[in-house]
Amino acid sequence: MEQDFFNNLASGKINHAYLINTSDDNFIKKVIESLEIHPNELLTIEDNKIETIRQAKNQLFKKPLIGKWKAMIIRSTELLTAPAQNSLLKILEEPPIYVVIFLFTEKEDMVLPTIKSRCQKIDVRKVVEYDFSGLEELRNKTTLEKFKFAQDQAENGDLDKLLDLWIMYFHQKMLNGEKVVEQITKISEAKRRLGTNASKRLLLENILVEF
């Protein structure tokens, strides 16, 4: 989602309001660069006062003199006072067509639900490098060893996370040209059935036969 967000900004496919779960300066800088907006048309809110939001509204409702967009960035939306958030809500309810608003926050639960409902949520997650060496080793085990692994995981493991990891592993294999569609299909079906009365051990064994 994060890369799609930047691609859309660069191509002009822009929504009027975004709620982004980070306050990282480098990320904010990347947003500004992707939007390609003139500095004179960019408002950055650093404090939490209602007067600041009201002043920003007056500026935002004047058409841009340079370029296509006017933008407002609020770095720590959760710090806005309740009156300031309500004032912000009035902007979000009927924004001019040339306005785009970026609300950054580390604490989304402190932002008014009515504000969140009017924004597109951008979930910024750190890239995690997964170590798949254990899965490579599992693929080389005997059927008996695989079934022992299935029994142990069915009794003590977090199967939802395990199956997510397996899906990522086989997606990577597919990108590398391996024919693993059957494995991915089996794992996805097993995830779907985790909440049913199906035997967890048998679900895992069915996958591991073709692992």
Both structure tokens of 113: 């639900």
Question: Where is the domain boundary, 85, 102, 122?
Answer: 122
* pLDDT-based confidence at residue 71 (cuts at 50, 70, 90): very high
Rounded Cα gap, residues 116 and 110, in angstroms: 10
What pLDDT, in 10s, does the model give residues 162-175?
Answer: 888 888 788 777 76
Of the candidates 85, 73, 80, the one whose C-alpha atom is nearest the C-alpha of residue 27 is: 73
Q: Are residues 44 and 106 in the same domain?
A: yes
User: Is the confidence at residue 150, as pLDDT, over 80?
Assistant: yes
Q: Which pLDDT does position 158 carry in this prediction? A: 83
Q: What residues make up the domain containing 54?
A: 2-122
SS3 100: strand
Which is nearest to 18 in space by CA: 128, 81, 126, 95?
95
pLDDT of 36: 77
Of the three residues 98, 122, 146, the one that is the final residue of a domain is 122
Identify the CA nearest to 153 among candidates 167, 168, 142, 138. 138
**What CA–CA distance (Å, rounded) separates 149 from 143?**
10
Whether this prediction's pTM lies above 0.95 is answered by no
| Mean pLDDT value across residues 113-124 | 90
Query: What are the distances in angstroms from CA 58 to CA 54, 63, 85, 151?
Result: 7, 11, 16, 65
127 is a domain residue: no
128 within a domain of the structure (yes/no): no
Count structural domains, the chain: 2
Residue 194: pLDDT band with limits 50, 70, 90: confident
- Within this chain, do residues 49 and 96 fall inside the same structural domain, yes or no? yes
For the segment 131-158, the average pLDDT, to the nearest whole number, is 86
pLDDT band for 127, please (50, 70, 90 cuts). very low
Three-state SS sequence of 27-39 = HHHHHHHHHCCCH
153 and 194 Cβ atoms separated by less than 8 Å = no
pLDDT above 80: residue 12: no
Tell whether 39 and 95 lie within a shared domain. Answer: yes
Residues 21 and 98 in one domain: yes
Q: Do the beta carbons of residue 18 and residue 102 sit within 8 Å?
A: yes
Average pLDDT, the chain: 85
CATH number of the domain that residue 21 is part of: 3.40.50.300
Residue 164 shares a structural domain with residue 103: no
Per-residue confidence (pLDDT) for residue 131, from 0 to 100: 63
Q: What is the mean pLDDT of residues 14-36?
A: 85
